[in-house]
Amino acid sequence: MYQLKTKQDRQQMRTQWINGRETVKYKDIEYIASETTKGEKIVYSLVLWRGSEGRPSVNYYYYSKQQRDEAIEYHKKYADQREAYNLEKKQPKPELVHNLKNGDLFYTSWGYDQTNYDYLVVLEVSKTGKTAKCQMTHALAMGTDGQCNVQEPIFCPYGDKFTMRIQEGYRGDLTLKGSYPFCANGSMDNKRLDRFSRAKEGQQFHETNSMFGH
């Protein structure tokens, strides 16, 4: 199949498809709505392009004008949604307002067929409020629950200091993202990239006992 590599190639292909026929343009779509006869029946065709497409993404026949009109309205609705989405993307993101402070504890979990936890503590928040200086921190052993060791992170930092980016999480909560010391004594010689969530005061975590994990 011929590759339409450039916008000029696509426009040339579209012009050939249109072949002088009248088109309707709406937002980022362009379409041709026409009628033709197939045997004894009148059929209603719709040829439609999105964006800078060369080949039409829609090239259908409908057996009633109502069906064709409903299809046009459907594509117009999604053109409206794309326009709204693109406008929203262009809006500058508001500054992330947070109450992050020194001593706040964060956690992340990882593992295949088992659950492991890593904990860090915030040592210093940058003046811009966009990054935080952190260190790994220990957790108290609070006992066991089935196949899990129950842990509670505490302020007991160890190892190398490292910087994490302060970000808004999926639920609008505060998260820290970046590379941190992994499976070592807190040395950045071994690193892992992940996102940490804030731990609530007194929150406990159930980590799979190594006897039961892989």
Strands (E), the chain: 24-26, 29-38, 41-50, 58-62, 105-110, 116-125, 131-145, 148-168, 174-181, 191-198, 205-208
Count of residues making up the chain: 214
- Specify which residues 161 forms β-bridges with: 135
pLDDT of residue 93: 65
Structure tokens at 129: 């409020």
Query: Measured between alpha carbons, how far is 16 from 5 in angstroms, rounded to an integer?
Result: 16
pLDDT (mean) for 180-194? 91
Question: What is the phi/psi pair of residue 58, to 5°?
Answer: -130, 130
What's the chain's average pLDDT?
91
Is the separation of the CB atoms in 43 and 36 below 8 Å? yes
Mean pLDDT over residues 43-58, rounded? 95
Does the pLDDT at position 58 exceed 80? yes
Q: pLDDT digits over 108-163, tens only?
A: 999 888 899 999 999 999 998 899 999 999 999 999 988 899 999 999 999 999 99
Q: How many CB atoms lie within 10 A of CB 42?
A: 12
Per-residue pLDDT band for 90 (boundaries 50, 70, 90) equals: confident
- pTM for this one? 0.58
113 φ/ψ angles, rounded to the nearest 5 degrees: 60, 20
Please state the rounded mean pLDDT for residues 186-206. Answer: 94
